[in-house]
Amino acid sequence: MNSLRLLLKHTPSWVRVEKDGQATAKVTCAPQKASGLIAGNYLLKLALLHGGGVSAAEDEVAHHFPVSCPERHINPDATFCISYGSTEPLIEAHAAIAWWEYLRMFLLHQEYARKYGVWPLEGGLSHGDAARIQEKMEELAAPLGWKEEILVGMFRGKGWLANSLPKASHRLDRLLNSRTPCPRGCTRQADSNRSIVCRPPDTDREKTGGKPILRAECPNRSALERIALLEHRRRKAQHDFIQDICKDAPKCCGTMKYCPLAKSSS
Protein backbone atom coordinates (compact mmCIF):
# COMPACT_ATOMS: atom_id res chain seq x y z
CA MET A 1 0.00 0.00 0.00
CA ASN A 2 1.51 3.33 -1.05
CA SER A 3 1.57 6.44 1.12
CA LEU A 4 -1.47 8.05 -0.49
CA ARG A 5 -3.58 4.90 -0.09
CA LEU A 6 -2.48 4.69 3.54
CA LEU A 7 -3.50 8.30 4.20
CA LEU A 8 -6.90 7.88 2.58
CA LYS A 9 -7.48 4.71 4.57
CA HIS A 10 -6.92 6.61 7.82
CA THR A 11 -8.65 9.93 7.18
CA PRO A 12 -9.76 11.63 10.43
CA SER A 13 -13.31 12.86 11.04
CA TRP A 14 -12.50 16.41 9.91
CA VAL A 15 -11.43 15.25 6.43
CA ARG A 16 -13.80 14.36 3.58
CA VAL A 17 -12.49 12.75 0.38
CA GLU A 18 -13.95 14.55 -2.64
CA LYS A 19 -12.07 12.81 -5.43
CA ASP A 20 -9.83 9.76 -5.32
CA GLY A 21 -7.49 9.15 -8.26
CA GLN A 22 -4.67 6.69 -8.74
CA ALA A 23 -1.89 9.09 -7.71
CA THR A 24 -3.86 12.15 -6.60
CA ALA A 25 -6.82 13.00 -4.40
CA LYS A 26 -8.88 16.02 -3.45
CA VAL A 27 -10.01 16.42 0.13
CA THR A 28 -12.00 18.97 2.09
CA CYS A 29 -10.53 19.73 5.50
CA ALA A 30 -12.41 21.36 8.37
CA PRO A 31 -9.93 21.26 11.29
CA GLN A 32 -11.21 21.95 14.78
CA LYS A 33 -9.60 24.23 17.31
CA ALA A 34 -9.17 23.18 20.94
CA SER A 35 -12.41 25.05 21.66
CA GLY A 36 -14.25 22.79 19.24
CA LEU A 37 -14.85 25.56 16.71
CA ILE A 38 -14.14 24.88 13.05
CA ALA A 39 -11.12 26.90 11.90
CA GLY A 40 -12.06 26.91 8.22
CA ASN A 41 -13.05 24.82 5.23
CA TYR A 42 -10.16 24.06 2.88
CA LEU A 43 -10.09 22.22 -0.43
CA LEU A 44 -6.70 20.55 -0.80
CA LYS A 45 -5.06 18.31 -3.33
CA LEU A 46 -2.81 15.43 -2.33
CA ALA A 47 -0.28 13.94 -4.74
CA LEU A 48 1.86 10.82 -4.58
CA LEU A 49 5.49 11.82 -5.12
CA HIS A 50 8.18 9.93 -7.02
CA GLY A 51 10.04 9.41 -3.76
CA GLY A 52 7.06 7.61 -2.23
CA GLY A 53 5.72 10.36 0.02
CA VAL A 54 2.72 12.63 -0.39
CA SER A 55 2.54 16.37 -0.98
CA ALA A 56 -0.35 18.61 0.04
CA ALA A 57 -1.35 21.91 -1.54
CA GLU A 58 -4.39 24.11 -1.87
CA ASP A 59 -6.57 23.27 -4.87
CA GLU A 60 -6.31 25.72 -7.76
CA VAL A 61 -9.93 26.85 -7.39
CA ALA A 62 -9.45 27.82 -3.73
CA HIS A 63 -7.75 31.02 -2.58
CA HIS A 64 -7.31 30.87 1.19
CA PHE A 65 -3.50 30.95 1.11
CA PRO A 66 -0.73 32.76 -0.78
CA VAL A 67 0.68 30.89 -3.77
CA SER A 68 4.04 30.84 -2.01
CA CYS A 69 5.32 32.19 1.32
CA PRO A 70 8.34 30.93 3.27
CA GLU A 71 7.05 32.44 6.53
CA ARG A 72 3.79 30.51 6.10
CA HIS A 73 5.68 27.37 5.06
CA ILE A 74 4.26 27.29 1.56
CA ASN A 75 6.91 26.27 -0.98
CA PRO A 76 7.55 28.01 -4.34
CA ASP A 77 5.61 25.19 -6.06
CA ALA A 78 2.61 25.91 -3.75
CA THR A 79 3.00 22.68 -1.74
CA PHE A 80 2.84 22.80 2.04
CA CYS A 81 5.75 22.16 4.38
CA ILE A 82 3.58 20.73 7.15
CA SER A 83 6.51 19.35 9.15
CA TYR A 84 10.15 18.44 8.68
CA GLY A 85 10.25 15.28 6.58
CA SER A 86 6.51 15.33 5.85
CA THR A 87 7.09 14.19 2.26
CA GLU A 88 8.92 11.03 3.30
CA PRO A 89 7.19 7.69 2.54
CA LEU A 90 4.59 6.55 5.07
CA ILE A 91 4.85 2.91 6.09
CA GLU A 92 2.48 2.27 8.98
CA ALA A 93 -0.91 3.49 10.18
CA HIS A 94 0.49 5.54 13.07
CA ALA A 95 2.64 7.52 10.60
CA ALA A 96 -0.44 8.32 8.51
CA ILE A 97 -2.38 9.40 11.59
CA ALA A 98 0.52 11.63 12.66
CA TRP A 99 0.69 13.13 9.14
CA TRP A 100 -2.98 14.17 9.34
CA GLU A 101 -2.40 15.72 12.76
CA TYR A 102 0.54 17.72 11.40
CA LEU A 103 -1.73 18.91 8.59
CA ARG A 104 -4.45 19.89 11.07
CA MET A 105 -1.98 21.99 13.08
CA PHE A 106 -0.58 23.48 9.87
CA LEU A 107 -4.05 24.69 8.86
CA LEU A 108 -4.72 26.11 12.33
CA HIS A 109 -1.38 27.92 12.21
CA GLN A 110 -2.37 29.37 8.84
CA GLU A 111 -5.44 30.94 10.44
CA TYR A 112 -3.26 32.45 13.16
CA ALA A 113 -0.80 33.76 10.55
CA ARG A 114 -3.59 35.30 8.49
CA LYS A 115 -4.94 37.11 11.56
CA TYR A 116 -1.73 38.26 13.24
CA GLY A 117 0.90 38.33 10.48
CA VAL A 118 3.24 35.96 12.34
CA TRP A 119 3.50 32.21 12.64
CA PRO A 120 2.52 31.00 16.15
CA LEU A 121 5.58 30.73 18.34
CA GLU A 122 4.89 27.17 19.52
CA GLY A 123 4.75 26.03 15.89
CA GLY A 124 7.86 27.91 14.81
CA LEU A 125 10.02 25.85 12.46
CA SER A 126 13.19 26.94 10.73
CA HIS A 127 13.51 26.31 7.01
CA GLY A 128 15.30 23.38 5.38
CA ASP A 129 18.26 21.90 7.25
CA ALA A 130 17.97 24.71 9.82
CA ALA A 131 14.99 22.81 11.29
CA ARG A 132 17.23 19.98 12.48
CA ILE A 133 19.59 22.46 14.11
CA GLN A 134 16.63 24.10 15.83
CA GLU A 135 15.58 20.73 17.26
CA LYS A 136 19.01 20.31 18.86
CA MET A 137 18.80 23.80 20.33
CA GLU A 138 15.40 23.10 21.84
CA GLU A 139 16.67 19.86 23.37
CA LEU A 140 19.46 21.79 25.11
CA ALA A 141 17.20 24.66 26.18
CA ALA A 142 14.21 22.73 27.51
CA PRO A 143 15.80 21.33 30.74
CA LEU A 144 16.97 24.84 31.65
CA GLY A 145 13.60 26.48 31.00
CA TRP A 146 15.02 28.48 28.10
CA LYS A 147 12.90 27.07 25.27
CA GLU A 148 10.52 30.01 24.94
CA GLU A 149 13.29 32.59 25.00
CA ILE A 150 15.22 30.90 22.19
CA LEU A 151 12.03 30.62 20.12
CA VAL A 152 11.39 34.33 20.71
CA GLY A 153 14.93 35.00 19.56
CA MET A 154 14.61 32.91 16.41
CA PHE A 155 11.10 33.90 15.34
CA ARG A 156 10.41 37.30 16.91
CA GLY A 157 13.88 38.85 16.74
CA LYS A 158 13.93 39.64 20.46
CA GLY A 159 16.19 38.72 23.36
CA TRP A 160 19.80 37.65 23.64
CA LEU A 161 19.68 35.00 20.93
CA ALA A 162 18.57 37.60 18.36
CA ASN A 163 21.42 39.94 19.27
CA SER A 164 25.09 39.74 18.36
CA LEU A 165 26.34 36.28 19.27
CA PRO A 166 29.80 35.46 20.61
CA LYS A 167 32.20 35.24 17.70
CA ALA A 168 32.70 31.80 16.22
CA SER A 169 35.48 30.20 14.21
CA HIS A 170 35.29 30.29 10.42
CA ARG A 171 34.15 26.65 10.35
CA LEU A 172 31.52 27.33 13.04
CA ASP A 173 32.92 24.53 15.17
CA ARG A 174 33.83 26.56 18.27
CA LEU A 175 33.25 29.92 19.94
CA LEU A 176 36.08 32.38 20.43
CA ASN A 177 37.16 34.47 23.43
CA SER A 178 35.35 33.19 26.51
CA ARG A 179 36.41 36.35 28.38
CA THR A 180 33.60 38.37 26.76
CA PRO A 181 30.39 39.13 28.71
CA CYS A 182 27.85 36.33 29.01
CA PRO A 183 25.45 36.94 26.07
CA ARG A 184 22.45 35.90 28.12
CA GLY A 185 23.21 38.53 30.76
CA CYS A 186 24.16 36.38 33.74
CA THR A 187 25.14 38.46 36.79
CA ARG A 188 27.14 38.45 39.98
CA GLN A 189 25.02 39.42 42.98
CA ALA A 190 26.00 42.52 44.91
CA ASP A 191 26.04 40.75 48.26
CA SER A 192 28.70 39.50 50.62
CA ASN A 193 28.88 36.14 48.86
CA ARG A 194 29.09 37.71 45.39
CA SER A 195 27.42 34.59 44.08
CA ILE A 196 26.78 34.17 40.37
CA VAL A 197 23.18 33.94 39.20
CA CYS A 198 22.00 32.75 35.81
CA ARG A 199 19.19 35.27 35.57
CA PRO A 200 16.31 35.42 33.09
CA PRO A 201 17.23 37.83 30.27
CA ASP A 202 14.54 40.37 31.23
CA THR A 203 15.86 40.85 34.79
CA ASP A 204 16.30 44.50 35.78
CA ARG A 205 19.94 44.61 36.89
CA GLU A 206 19.57 48.08 38.39
CA LYS A 207 16.95 46.84 40.86
CA THR A 208 18.74 43.59 41.70
CA GLY A 209 22.19 45.14 41.90
CA GLY A 210 23.66 42.40 39.74
CA LYS A 211 26.79 42.97 37.67
CA PRO A 212 27.42 41.23 34.31
CA ILE A 213 29.83 38.31 34.32
CA LEU A 214 32.10 36.79 31.69
CA ARG A 215 30.92 33.91 29.54
CA ALA A 216 33.60 31.73 31.10
CA GLU A 217 31.92 32.22 34.50
CA CYS A 218 28.37 31.36 33.43
CA PRO A 219 26.89 28.53 35.55
CA ASN A 220 25.36 27.09 32.38
CA ARG A 221 28.33 27.83 30.15
CA SER A 222 28.33 24.50 28.32
CA ALA A 223 24.67 24.63 27.27
CA LEU A 224 24.81 28.36 26.49
CA GLU A 225 27.86 28.00 24.26
CA ARG A 226 26.43 25.00 22.43
CA ILE A 227 23.16 26.87 21.82
CA ALA A 228 25.01 29.97 20.59
CA LEU A 229 27.18 27.88 18.26
CA LEU A 230 24.15 26.06 16.90
CA GLU A 231 22.45 29.42 16.34
CA HIS A 232 25.40 30.49 14.20
CA ARG A 233 24.88 27.35 12.10
CA ARG A 234 21.09 27.74 12.04
CA ARG A 235 21.35 31.31 10.76
CA LYS A 236 23.69 30.20 7.97
CA ALA A 237 21.44 27.28 6.97
CA GLN A 238 18.41 29.56 7.06
CA HIS A 239 20.16 32.20 4.96
CA ASP A 240 21.29 29.62 2.38
CA PHE A 241 17.75 28.24 2.14
CA ILE A 242 16.17 31.66 1.62
CA GLN A 243 18.77 32.62 -0.98
CA ASP A 244 17.99 29.43 -2.86
CA ILE A 245 14.20 29.81 -2.88
CA CYS A 246 14.41 33.49 -3.80
CA LYS A 247 15.52 32.33 -7.25
CA ASP A 248 12.14 30.68 -7.92
CA ALA A 249 9.74 32.23 -5.41
CA PRO A 250 7.27 34.93 -6.51
CA LYS A 251 7.27 38.35 -4.87
CA CYS A 252 6.39 38.71 -1.21
CA CYS A 253 2.65 38.21 -0.63
CA GLY A 254 2.66 40.93 2.03
CA THR A 255 0.80 38.90 4.66
CA MET A 256 3.66 38.36 7.12
CA LYS A 257 5.60 40.86 9.24
CA TYR A 258 9.06 39.30 9.02
CA CYS A 259 9.12 37.86 5.51
CA PRO A 260 12.67 37.42 4.12
CA LEU A 261 11.31 37.86 0.57
CA ALA A 262 10.28 41.40 1.47
CA LYS A 263 13.80 42.12 2.70
CA SER A 264 15.42 40.62 -0.40
CA SER A 265 13.25 42.68 -2.76
CA SER A 266 13.62 45.98 -0.90
pLDDT digits (tens, 9 = 90+) for 199-224: 656 655 455 556 788 999 998 999 99
Percent of the chain with pLDDT strictly greater than 90: 65
Q: What is the pLDDT of residue 263?
A: 62
Q: Is 8 exposed, middle or buried (0-12, 13-18, 19+ CB in 10 A)?
A: middle
> What average pLDDT does the segment 24-52 reach?
90
Q: Is 141 exposed, middle or buried (0-12, 13-18, 19+ CB in 10 A)?
A: buried
- Predicted TM-score of the model (pTM): 0.83
How far is 164 from 76, CA to CA, in rounded Å? Answer: 31
Contacts 24+ apart (CB under 8 A), 138-147: 140/223, 140/226, 140/227, 140/230, 141/223, 141/227, 144/220, 144/223, 146/227
Q: Does domain 3-123 sit in CATH 3.40.1350?
A: no
Q: Which residue intervals of the chain bear CATH 3.30.457?
A: 3-123
pLDDT band at 176 (very low <50, low <70, confident <90, very high): very high
Q: Are 178 and 216 in contact (CB under 8 A)?
A: yes
